[in-house]
Structure 1
Amino acid sequence: MPARKSPADTASRPAAAAGKAATINDIARLAGVSKKTVSRIINHSPLVRKDTREKVEALMREVGYVPDPLARGLAFRRSFLIGMVYDNPTAQYIVDMQYGALDALRDSGFELVVHPCDTRSPGYIDSVRRFVRQQKLHGVMLVPRASEDQNLADMLAELSCRYTRIVPVGFDDHDGRMIVTHDRDGAAEAADYLLTLGHKDIALITGALTYRSAIERTEGFVQALAMRGVEVPKSRIIEASYTFESGVAAGEKLLAGKDRPTAIFCGNDEMAAGVYKVALRAGISIPRDLSLVGFDDSPLASRLWPSLTSVRRHTRDTGRIAAATLIRTDPSPLPVASVRPHLIVRDSCQPPA
């Protein structure tokens, strides 16, 4: 005799066949509990018995129920959306930052919405203000270089919108709002490594110096060399813009003719890849004729040949910490969070010939 089907089995099949999404009312009816109990389970309330929670969660998985963040926002008079505001030309960095944020938000009931902007545009702060108001954001992650703008942070404070700032160096702000990435220290480690190999004729390709990260990496690298008695002439410092194309242009300036450096430190891996292209066209062997160090340790670093020595800055972890800080419910104050970089040595460097 076939097993008798439960009411949940018989009730859920027609809804699935009709292609209709289950609602919180459906879940409550099928589970035989109140709508308030289902809501408590969705919001991870401790006021629900374990066996009831397990039964309702199993039912939600079975019928494919997904809570509507907008409906939850209306019920709780707040949004379950976290915004990420950024102005950054490096696509992989932004992707890794989003992955980290999503790691923190998984199973929390919060969702991530992104807002690219141009911080050089005079109206960009008004654009972010509209974004925050329209989406009724619970909080905002500020990613470089938007995170470096105090006027933007002040605007969010005026709106009583919580925010976290990912910054290369500490700013004068509430400690719990900052995740400091210590870019200067990573650049200094790269300088020490090249000096240890015996390089003294060293060049530097920076990001645009309108970015605080570019300033920190440049100063950290140059000062570390100076402490060991090695000076970088101005002619050996080329300002680029964190893109592959700008790395190509800078590499062409530094590698033209016979008077070329034995090593180059690039402010990110994208620009380092541009130098690879220039070296290949010019018949310059890496690392035999030229040692090269990047910054970010993006997936690109291990895909280049020879693989690129690069400063790893743990971007995904940084995004995770920034998002987790925004959704924490503990009211106790937080200290400044630090994510420290370190050098990953691969095959792109050797002692100068």
Structure 2
Amino acid sequence: MSPSPKTPRSDTTESAAPQAKAKAAQGKTTINDIARLSGVSKKTVSRVINGSELVHPETRDKVQALMEEMGYTPDPQARGLAFRHAFLIGLVFDNPTAQYIVNMQYGALDALRDSGFELVVHPCDSKQSDYIEGIKRFVQRQKLYGVILIPRVSEDQALADALQELEVRYVRIASVPLDEPTRMVLTHDRRAGGEVAEYLESLGHRQFGLITGPKRYRSSIERGGGFIEGLSRRGIKLSEDCIYEGGYTFESGVTGAEALLRQSPRPSAIFACNDEMAAGVYKAALRMGLSIPGDLSVVGYDDSPLASQLWPPLTTIHLPVRDLGRQATGLLLAKDWPRSKESPAAFTVSPHLVVRDSTQPPHSSAAA
């Protein structure tokens, strides 16, 4: 009696196809379905997804054609099966300005489009003693390919050291060089602060107020320091009484402006180190019956959407936050990362002043 013929594998594939296609119609096709229908292992499918050269061209073509037919799109975790990492970029932040974070995410997503990578975010509180451990757990749990650090966490060397120990890529966005050039995107905040000082002095202002961010933020130090130095270059010394430490929040802008505007002589111009605090200055001026810019000129920093929504529109420093996110992400995805220490700084942005209607020359009495 002759043995019964074996059922060809293609018959098995064909019998499973209707069920798999039904799942595809519901958007439920899995990597296991692709492996079964292709007649290959799950690991082989994973290698095809990740572009491995270990797969025979005919097999690769068959798997790719089937994935296209079934409408299968692997998620980042599935793509990482053949690697130690997932195809995820992390954005770590401790920043009170919501619009800054939103614009940063838009920039990162611009750079990730069509790359196969996805973005995950991790807010933290850098004032907590265990926040670095929390970030390390986040990196390890998500198997991150790379991490973007924005102020203030980008200024923490202990965090950078921890990420190096984990052997994960990272890029730090900061106002001054803090690391190897290939790990930095620079914003030159001090230079921008000086530009504000020179502009206001050129209008004829002689009495100034400064509302900084928290002292633990390097951006606050650089923006405020640049403003003070810019005035000094023009022969004006800003006393400590004319400086108020805010919190990069609207409420701290109100409180700071009220404190400065109660002084005698009161300032004819106030520089707030972000737009939210500048909006607080507007509220304080309104409460005290002062007009902007007639009685008080105001300058902010960031050029967020809020700057053009205020009335009168706010003169401010334009910081291209979306570009920062795009450039930091592009640096992480660079194939030659990290390059040699001798490489020049590859990424930098140059903030610049945008003059609107919140500034004008002071009244003659104020100038005197």
Deviation at 1:32, TM superposition (A): 12
- 2:10 maps to none
Q: Which residue of 1 aligns with 2:201?
A: 195
* Residues 1:87 and 2:89 are matched in the alignment: no
Select which of 331, 347, 350 maps to 1:325: 331
1:309 aligns with 2:315: yes
**What residue is the counterpart of 1:67 in the other structure?**
74
Give the Å deviation of 1:16. 5.0
Alignment partners' CA distance in 2, 1:165 and 1:238? 28
Instruction: Assess if the C-alpha contact under 8 Å between 2:46 and 2:78 holds in 1.
Output: no
The alpha carbon displacement at 1:23 in A equals: 3.3
Q: Would the alpha carbon gap of residues 335 and 57 (structure 1) be closer, same or farther in structure 2, given more than 3 Å must change?
A: farther
Structure 1 gaps of 5+ residues are 1-6
CA-to-partner distance for each residue in 1:33-92, whole Å, 9 max, x for gaps?
Answer: 99899767755789999xx99x969974x8654322111112223211111111111111
Cα pair distance change 1:41/1:105, threshold 3 Å: farther
Give the residue type in structure 1 aligned to 2:248: Y
User: Of the two, which has the highest radius of gyration?
Assistant: 2
CA contact (8 A) 1:31 1:59 kept: no
Query: Which residue of 2 is the match for residue 124 of structure 1?
Result: 131
The CA deviation at 1:194 is: 0.5
Runs of 5+ consecutive residues of structure 2 not aligned to the other structure: 1-13, 364-368
Find the residue that maps to 1:170 and give its secondary structure: coil
Map of 1:335 onto structure 2: 344
Partner of 1:112: 119
Give the 5 Å matches for 1:116-195.
116-171=123-178, 173-195=179-201
**Alignment partner of 2:356 out of 342, 346, 353:** 346
**How much does 1:130 deviate?**
1.1
In the superposition, the TM-score normalised over structure 2's length comes to 0.83
Does the 8 Å CA contact 1:199/1:263 hold for their aligned counterparts?
Answer: yes
Judge conservation of contact 1:37–1:48 (CA < 8 Å) in 2: no
Per-residue CA deviation, residues 158-194 of structure 1 (Å, 9 max, x unaligned), is 11111100011112x2210011111001111111110
1:3 aligns with: none
Q: What is the one-letter code of the residue matched to 1:342?
A: H
Who is 1:216 aligned against?
A: 222
Distance 1:63 1:277 in 2: 58
Match of 1:102 in 2: 109
Residue 261 of structure 2 corresponds to residue 255 of structure 1: yes
* Shift in alpha-carbon separation, 1:254–1:80, aligned structure 2, 3 A: same
What's the offset of the Cα at 1:233? Answer: 1.6
Q: CA RMSD in A?
A: 2.9
Aligned residue for 2:127, secondary structure, equals coil
Letter in 2 for 1:153: A
Letter of the 1:243 partner, please give it: T
Q: Which segment is superposed worse, 121-130 or 20-29? A: 20-29
**Per-residue displacement from partner, 1:295-316 (whole Å, max 9, x unpaired)?**
0001100000000011011111
Task: Name the SS for the 2:205 alignment partner.
Answer: coil
3-state SS of paired residue (2:322)? helix
CA distance in 2, matches of 1:247, 1:65: 51
For residues 112-136 of structure 1, the C-alpha deviation after alignment (integer angstroms, 9 at most, x for no partner) is 1111111111111111111111111
The equivalent residue for 1:276 is 282
